[in-house]
Structure 1
């Protein structure tokens, strides 16, 4: 098989994954799950076909689609497509060219208008690997367990809604990984780790990390933990290879009191472990 044949088949696979994600919205299967149904799903931030390393979060922030006061982003402020931006009344009217445009806004995300307030801290954590979201030469990407933005925060969703979204989405994540060269996934926070374990039916090795402890004035310090493991499948998708998992329990963007020393220690740990895995 020629290299160009692989590129074509991989591109087709990505479009098929995206099309199936959109089909679920059209079929109104997500209406009870607080999904923003006028917003396109986001299967990846950056191009997974060019990445060796990917960070992993829960699901896209609504801020990818709306301003702080809830108004849909438009013109140069827009990050991803919606029914309005594509001038569609329904996802059922979606054409191939529009599907490709949705795909392009995802793969080219970091060269357009990224949500730097969320991604810059995460990019700093992987900087010791020499890979970056913002690099075209050593490109890293970001994946979410759930490709759909929700109208309320993940923690505020009902338990059955979270479980339904995870069940629906696990297959999609497996397909994205299968058609990519990604070797390492970095899980951002305890909630991501726990839900990833549930989706892949694998328990990761948990180790206490003294240097990651977050001090509290009342003495109830928040302990730091690292997670390591491997997966070869997610849900019913055989990825076809082992993918290494690295994780930490603090959510870098929202955990209160994550100091620069803790960030540096996590960064150094990721760098060290990545070198071990890739060499």
Structure 2
């Protein structure tokens, strides 16, 4: 992980991401929670800016801080990061859910995976969260231009493959259709789609939003050989932001993950 982190930090200094809306003083986030002890990983697009700033855009500090920045490490450029700094950055990944996690986002996902016996939280935590792109941006991924997204993928598109390769993760859960389609493109895999009637979201003025489940297995991600099969499960509803995701739908998704992962989570 150290080599990958060092390479990602270098991109912040060399100007490759200068016009990509990346928050340049924020460290890349390789994992939320311990990758070393996780058998299941949920997957998102890229870290939220709220991992580094409050609702007013002010950098989090003190007990509110979640990850390291140039300020917290007291350095002017990422090239100044020493071995000690690297250890501090990596420690912030491993201990994320024991300090000040962004619970308003993660608790809903944890509820889903907990039905399969997995959790981000507690002394027996066996799940973590990863992002396709580890850089936090000033705006949401869906608001970035195609050029900005392309620059980020060029700089860090293979990161998810390298992280999965060095981990014991054997299940990846994709949260929302944007993540599903982006992962399928990066991994070069076609996922099987199944309509799930019990996941439909009712709408008064138009047709219901149909629920769709995605399944597949991958051995290679972003041209990185994993040396094992990894089960991929996804759903089109974004648990945190899809309007009208009911408790019943969340329960249904959790039950489906539980059934699909029987005998896989050790």
Do both proteins adopt the same fold according to a TM-score greater than 0.5, normalized to the shorter chain? yes
How many Å separate the matches in 1 of 2:45 and 2:241? 13
Between the two proteins, the alignment pairs up a number of residues equal to: 266
User: How much does 1:15 deviate?
Assistant: 1.1
Q: In structure 2, the residue corresponding to 1:223 is in which secondary structure? A: strand
* Superposition TM-score, scaled by structure 1 size: 0.93
Which structure has greater helix proportion?
1
Residue aligning to 1:96:
83
Q: Does the 8 Å contact 2:116/2:255 carry over to 1?
A: no
The answer to whether the Cα contact below 8 Å between 1:189 and 1:247 also exists between their aligned partners in 2 is yes
State the 1:278 CA deviation: 4.7
- Hey, which of these two has a bigger chunk of strand by percent? 2
2:223 to 203, 221, 236: 236
Instruction: For 1:193 and 1:185, locate their aligned partners in 2 and report how far apart those are by CA, in whole Å.
Output: 11
Deviation at 1:166, TM superposition (A): 2.5
C-alpha separation in 2, matches of 1:54 and 1:278: 11
RMSD: 1.1
Partner of 2:10: 23
How big is the shift at 1:214? Answer: 0.5
C-alpha displacement of 1:219? 2.9
Q: Is contact 1:205–1:229 with CA below 8 Å preserved after alignment?
A: yes
Query: What is the distance in 2 between the residues matched to 1:48 and 1:35?
Result: 24
Aligned to 1:179, which of 166, 182, 188? 166
SS at match of 1:129: coil
Look up the match of 2:45. Answer: 58
Question: Are 1:256 and 2:256 matched, yes or no?
Answer: no
In the aligned structure 2, how far is the partner of 1:238 from the partner of 1:186? 19
**Aligned residue for 1:133?**
120
- Structure 2: unaligned runs, 5 residues or longer: none
- After TM superposition, the score normalised by the length of structure 2 is 0.97
Residue-by-residue CA offset, 1:47-81 (whole Å, 9 max, x unaligned): 11101001000100000000000000011110000
Q: Look up the match of 1:157.
A: 144
Deviation digits for residues 82-139 of structure 1 (CA, Å, limit 9, x no counterpart):
0000001111111000011000001110011100000000000001121100033242
Hey, what does 2:195 align to over in structure 1?
208
Match of 1:274 in 2: 261
